[in-house]
Amino acid sequence: QSDEYEEDDYSDNNYDPEASERKQHAMENSALNGESLTEHLLKQLGEIDIPQEMYDIGEMLIGNLDANGFFIVPLETLFENSDYTEEQINRAVSIVQTFDPYGICVKDFRESLIVQAKCSSMAQEDLEVFSKLVLEHLEDIQSGNLNQVAFKLHIYKEDLETFINILKS
């Protein structure tokens, strides 16, 4: 992995406020250098030691991503005429999701946020709460119902505010 691309660090809920800026800068530099997201991901795929079938699936996955890293065609459709097993496909998805930038190889922005949290080494218990927040309570947060969301998630409002700060980053 190139030194040009740095990883965000949310571990132990210590958000590095400069990490988001570094990631944005790296993505802009990539675009300035003429490297597309697809090229950037394929380069990373070529740098890891995986079986040929994982490489082939990874290549198909990367080719099925839009400029935001979201699936163009649902996975079920993409692989419906292939001989790959669901386990192989899921394993390849997990591999590609670890590539820079985090949050790619997903169906939508909610899933992207969860993948970013997973890749940040967030504690499992926090990841479960964060995932529930992203999947079920974003609209409540937008409406300003923080006390209600904290109650539903069984966490303190201060902890919810920490998750919201991570979400904003």
C-alpha span between 53 and 63 (Å, rounded)? 15
> 10 Å Cβ neighbour count for 91?
17
Residue 119: its pLDDT value, please?
87
pLDDT level of residue 33 (50, 70, 90 thresholds): low
Q: Convert the pLDDT of each residue in 72-128 to its tens digit.
A: 999 999 999 999 999 999 999 999 999 999 999 999 999 999 999 988 888 999 999
Given a cut of 60, whether residue 23 has pLDDT beyond it is no
* C-alpha–C-alpha distance, residues 118 and 106, integer Å: 13
Q: Are 122 and 133 in contact (CB under 8 A)?
A: no
For the segment 97-108, what is each residue's pLDDT rounded down to a tens digit?
999 999 999 999
**Residues near 69 by Cβ (< 8 Å), separated by ≥ 6?**
37, 101, 103, 104, 105, 106, 112
* DSSP structural state of residue 12: G
| pLDDT tens digits along 131-169 | 999 999 999 999 999 999 999 999 999 999 999 999 888
| Alpha-carbon span 112 to 106, nearest angstrom | 6
Structure token digits, residue 37:
């997201």
